[in-house]
Homo-oligomer: A and B are copies of this chain.
Amino acid sequence: MDLLIHVDQSSGVSLHRQIYDSIRGAILSGRLRSGEKLPSTRALSKSLGIARATVTMSFDSLLSEGYIEASVGAGTFVSRALPEELMRPASPTVDPATLEASTPKVKARSRGRKRKDASDPGAQDPDKIQGYRLSWYATALRSRQWLSFSADEPEVQLSFGRPAMAEFPMRVWNQLLLHHARKRNLGLLDSPANAAGFMPLREQLASYLSRVRAVACQPEQVIVVNGSQQGIDLVARVLIDRGDDICIEEPGYIGAQKSFEAMGANVLPIRVDKQGISVDALKEHERAKPGFSPQLVYVTPSHQSPTGVVLSVPRRLELISWARRVGAYIVEDDYDSEYRYKGRPIPALAGLDHAGTVIYIGTLSKVLFPSLRLGYLVVPLDLAEVFTRAKWLTDRHSPLLEQQVLADFIRLGHLERHIRKMRNLYEQKRKLVIESLKKHFSTAATVLGDAAGINVVVRIASDKDDAEIVLQAKAAGIGISSTGHCYLGEAPRGEFQINYAHLNEDAIEQCIERLARIALS
């Protein structure tokens, strides 16, 4: 037997561990075979010049872990219970022949789903991975076109809605953070009953919503989630089965669209006009398909994503009335409601409805900062229990510390103070964006939507196509996205999103000038 044990007295690794590693390695690599006899501890101790107790310690570990077995009077052997086929090199590059042999049989199951985008590397063989079958959900995720935002950080990023971080009351926030971090309460939320969140935060959110969004709700209806995307995902899981009709705005928010599609929903795009989602378009579906009863209508009424249109009050009431009649939930994503620069914020749909028709999604990503990952749902009381269960299964609960900090931040008035301050600041920035567009684009740029939110959508008349503008902007240090990905149907040319909240005045002016040079040259 050729048992090569290298022991290095100066390696810093204990000797018994070195012996253990050598023998275990020899077994797993196949150099020591199942049933093969090992030298005695005495012989090994002698040959290595190491105390016998040390060798015995290594053997004990190997015995207790089942790599070797002892037979009284006969000696020690490599365990006979180790399957032969596993005793091969532990190399990360697998021998193709081995791989062939170990590839499981392909499971047959018809899917009837076609790949939309053959150039997407993730789209290859969506039905299986090395012969393993994935779920319908995973197959849908793999086979459909995925988001293609770049992970590179350009000099100026217009693609994502980021708040002006420099204005955030960081000192106050961090004081609260440290205060709660110092007295960490480790067990506070580990019971499933608490999956919906830290009760003092739920109370603060309920009271905030009633003050600011005219939503009268009980803390028991508030479910704390990790940002609005988790809110959307939970709604999708609780409401959607494969094949269900659901309605979204056209153009609409891509994160919601992808979630609903991945759940297998039959996603119907509903056109948006200057008053927001068209209830007439919903009624057209009803006429075309008697008994039409979608599971939900997903809307962004306070500042339609991406167009920026505010859903008018008459339209709101009409939508609620229609949804109630056909038996559809309204999912109100109020992601951007805090910033309205003309008049008071319009009350949320959830504040106009009193019959459990609206599921409300709120987020702190736009008001505080996105990497915080905190948002909330307000659900009809009779749905609170099932959402709490779903949240527990999803991730037990959202992180406690930030919930504690946020509860204090709201309670002490910092949130509303911050929003008031930012509303003025963003209004000025918005004006500057519009002035700069006028100055550098003249009539070649039209701003869509109402005076709200922290981004504008601009329609640009250019000879270049959208992809070319995006590419040249990227080369000029500007990250910009067209609204093309927001449409399920045919997208218009030349619509771009400008997220301006995090940019200073110089950056706004300069990047719009650069964009004009690109688009109009």
- Listed in ascending order, the chain A residues whose CB lies under 8 Å from chain B are 17, 20, 28, 60-61, 64-67, 79, 81-83, 85-86, 90-92, 94, 98-99, 102-107, 121-122, 129-138, 141-142, 146-147, 149-151, 153, 157, 160, 162-163, 165, 168, 170, 173-174, 177-178, 181-182, 184-194, 216, 225-227, 229-230, 233, 237-241, 244, 255, 258-259, 262, 275, 293, 295, 312-315, 317-318, 320-321, 324-329, 342-344, 346, 352, 354-356, 369-373, 380, 382-383, 385-386, 389-390, 392-402, 502
Q: CA–CA, A198 to B364, complex, Å? A: 21
Q: How far is the CA of A239 from the CA of B137 in the complex (A)?
A: 8
Known: A65-B312, A83-B317, A130-B382. A188 touches B371 (CB 8 A): yes
Point out the residues of chain B lying under 8 angstroms from A104, CB to CB.
Answer: 293, 324-328
Judging by beta carbons under 8 Å apart, are A395 and B229 in contact?
A: yes
In the bound complex, how far is the Cα of B394 from the Cα of A445, in angstroms? 36
CB-based contact B142/A321 at 8 Å: no
Cβ of A184 to closest chain B Cβ, rounded Å: 6
Known: A321-B83, A395-B230. A135 touches B238 (CB 8 A): yes
A227→B194 CA distance, assembly (Å): 16
Known: A104-B325, A151-B193, A326-B104. A186 touches B162 (CB 8 A): yes
Q: What CA separation (Å) do A163 and B370 show in the bound complex?
A: 30
Instruction: Tell me whether A138 and B372 are in contact in the complex, defined as CB-CB below 8 angstroms, given that A314-B79, A393-B233 are known contacts.
Output: no
Q: Are the CB atoms of B390 and A64 closer together than 8 Å?
A: no
CB–CB B129/A66 < 8 A? no
Minimal beta-carbon separation of A292 from chain B (angstroms)? 11
A241 in complex: contacting residue of B136, B295, B385, CB < 8 Å? B136
Given contacts A216-B92, A354-B90, contact A395 B233 (CB under 8 A): yes
User: Are A320 and B86 within 8 A (Cβ)?
Assistant: yes
Which residues of the partner chain B approach A162 to less than 8 Å between Cβ atoms?
A: 186-187, 190
With A170-B182, A344-B17 as given contacts, are A394 and B393 in contact (CB-CB < 8 Å)?
A: no
Return chain B residues, CB-CB under 8 Å to A153. 187
- In the complex, the answer to whether B395 meets A186 with C-beta atoms within 8 Å is no
Is the pair B86, A241 in contact by a Cβ cutoff of 8 Å? no
The contact of A313 among B65, B94, B380, by CB within 8 Å, is B65
Please provide the 9 A-B residue pairs with the shortest distance between their CB atoms, ordered closest to farther. A104-B327, A81-B314, A371-B400, A151-B193, A66-B313, A230-B395, A226-B395, A66-B312, A138-B238
A146 cross-chain contacts in B, Cβ below 8 A: 192, 389
CA of A218 to CA of B295, assembled, Å: 42
Beyond A65-B312, A67-B313, A170-B182, 19 extra complex contacts between A and B, CB < 8 Å: A82-B313, A90-B354, A91-B354, A104-B324, A107-B293, A122-B385, A132-B327, A135-B237, A135-B240, A135-B244, A138-B237, A138-B386, A170-B184, A189-B371, A229-B392, A230-B395, A371-B399, A372-B399, A373-B400
> Smallest distance from the beta carbon of A345 to chain B beta carbons, Å?
9
Q: Can you identify 7 A-B contacts, CB atoms within 8 angstroms?
A: A61-B344, A83-B321, A146-B389, A153-B187, A157-B187, A188-B371, A229-B392
Q: Are A122 and B389 in contact (CB under 8 A)?
A: yes
Contacts of A216 in B (CB 8 A): 90, 92
Which of B20, B79, B151 makes the CB contact (< 8 A) with A344? B20
Q: A147-B192, A187-B162, A190-B370 are in contact. Are A393 and B258 (CB under 8 A)?
A: yes
Tell me if A373 and B354 are in contact (CB < 8 A): no
Nearest B residue to A295 by beta-carbon distance?
A: B133
- Complex Cα distance A327/B397, Å? 33
Q: Which chain B residue shows the least CB distance to A199?
A: B151
Q: How far is the CB of A370 from chain B (nearest CB, A)?
A: 5
Residues of B within 8 A of A147 (CB): 192, 392
